[in-house]
């Protein structure tokens, strides 16, 4: 904690050796966790992705964490927090490694075509207001190789840098940047810096993509990331649509 330079974020810190999923743990222990709490695990045995997918979280090699936030925002702003987390982690990884990281809307960070970080944001509360927001983030830091299903899609900072990367340094820098972005947005209604980062480093903008909903796959072009965090796409028949991250997947062609 001595190296932590945040004003309020992660002052409550739960460090677990092994857990099914830090998001699930945070949900189960919600009464013990205050705004700003950080739940961190060395290993997850049942790490989760979006839309029921799983997230591989090997022991000691990544940052597997959940931030507990009570932003008091309208429910439809949850997507903006995912973009905020992606922008903050982008800046942190670039700051520590200098790697050319891309943001694949809504929740992935990639180096080249390989995924280095995924974000799972879960909001609870009434229909209109976020009571609690869990921002789950997984970063592949020091894996030396991947096997099985994700071998073709995943990479780690260590693989890209060809040397180990400090998880602590990356985490500390991320927390400082995230706190600044969060305060700018939630306290000062200033979201422009986040939008600049996600737009400037977007992997999808102006690219042909497939929009995937269940079994359905429709060709489109990604044209902009809106101020509310949604992705605007234009289909081949000229119709456009604003997509929210929780509903769809997109794939670059
Ligand atoms: C995500 O889902 O990318 C969100 C991942 C969030 C993980 C964090 S870790 C801490 C917190 N606790 C949790 O239980 N979760 C959060 P999605 O966009 O659905 O991507 C999932 C897909 O990524 C999988 O289907 C795999 O193809 C791939 N994948 C799984 N593990 C990976 C890994 N370690 N690195 C790269 N890709 C992976």
**253 residues of the chain, pLDDT tens digit each:** 467 899 999 999 999 999 999 999 999 999 999 999 999 999 999 999 998 899 999 999 999 999 999 999 998 899 999 999 999 999 999 999 999 999 999 999 999 999 999 999 999 887 789 999 999 999 999 999 999 999 999 999 999 999 999 999 999 999 999 999 999 999 999 999 999 999 999 999 999 999 999 899 999 999 999 999 999 999 999 999 999 987 788 988 8
Kindly report the CA angle at 13 between 97 and 42, in degrees rounded to 5? 60
- Give the residue whose CA is nearest to atom 15 of ligand 1: 48
pTM confidence score: 0.96
Output the CA 80–ligand 1 centroid distance in Å. 19
Q: Determine contact, residues 13/40, Cβ cutoff 8 Å.
A: yes
The closest alpha carbon to 14, from 23, 140, 178, belongs to: 23
Q: Determine contact, residues 159/144, Cβ cutoff 8 Å.
A: yes
What is the strand order of the sheet 216-225 is part of?
Answer: 240-243, 231-235, 216-225, 208-213, 249-252
ipTM for the assembly: 0.99
Ligand 1 neighbour 153 (Cβ under 6 A): yes
Instruction: Tell me phi and psi for residue 212, to 5 degrees.
Output: -115, 120
Alpha-carbon distances of 163 from 90, 151, 157, 181, 196, rounded to whole Å: 19, 19, 8, 30, 30
Output the CA 115–ligand 1 centroid distance in Å. 9
- Give the residue whose CA is nearest to atom 25 of ligand 1: 53
Ligand 1 neighbour 61 (Cβ under 6 A): no
Q: Determine contact, residues 222/211, Cβ cutoff 8 Å.
A: no
- What pLDDT does 19 receive? 98
- The CA distance from 31 to 178, in Å, is 24
Where do runs of H (alpha helix) occur along 17-156? Answer: 22-28, 78-97
Q: What number does the ligand 1 atom closest to the CA of 50 have?
A: 19
Ligand 1 neighbour 245 (Cβ under 6 A): no
Q: What number does the ligand 1 atom closest to the CA of 57 have?
A: 34
- The CA distance from 180 to 202, in Å, is 21
């Amino acid at each position: 904690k001595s190296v932590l330079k945040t004003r309020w974020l992660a002052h409550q810190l739960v460090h677990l050796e092994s857990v099914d999923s830090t998001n699930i743990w945070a949900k189960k222990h919600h009464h013990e966790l205050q705004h700003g709490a950080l739940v961190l695990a060395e290993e997850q045995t049942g790490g989760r992705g979006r839309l029921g997918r799983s997230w591989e979280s090997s022991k000691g090699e990544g940052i597997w964490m959940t931030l507990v936030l009570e932003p008091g925002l309208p429910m439809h702003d949850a997507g903006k927090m995912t973009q905020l987390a992606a922008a903050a982690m982008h800046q942190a990884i670039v700051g520590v490694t200098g790697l050319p990281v891309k943001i694949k809307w809504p929740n992935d960070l990639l180096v080249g075509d390989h995924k280095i970080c995924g974000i799972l944001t879960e909001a609870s509360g009434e229909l209109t207001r976020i009571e609690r927001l869990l921002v789950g983030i997984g970063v592949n830091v020091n894996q030396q190789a991947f096997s099985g299903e994700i071998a073709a899609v995943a990479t780690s900072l260590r693989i890209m840098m060809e040397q180990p990367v400090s998880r602590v340094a990356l985490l500390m820098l991320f927390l400082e940047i995230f706190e600044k972005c969060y305060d700018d947005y939630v306290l000062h209604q200033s979201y422009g810096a986040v939008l600049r980062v996600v737009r400037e480093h977007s992997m999808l903008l102006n690219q042909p993509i497939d929009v995937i909903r269940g079994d359905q796959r429709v060709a489109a072009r990604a044209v902009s990331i809106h101020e509310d965090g949604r992705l605007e796409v234009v289909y081949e028949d000229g119709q456009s649509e604003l997509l929210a991250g929780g509903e769809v997947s997109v794939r670059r062609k």
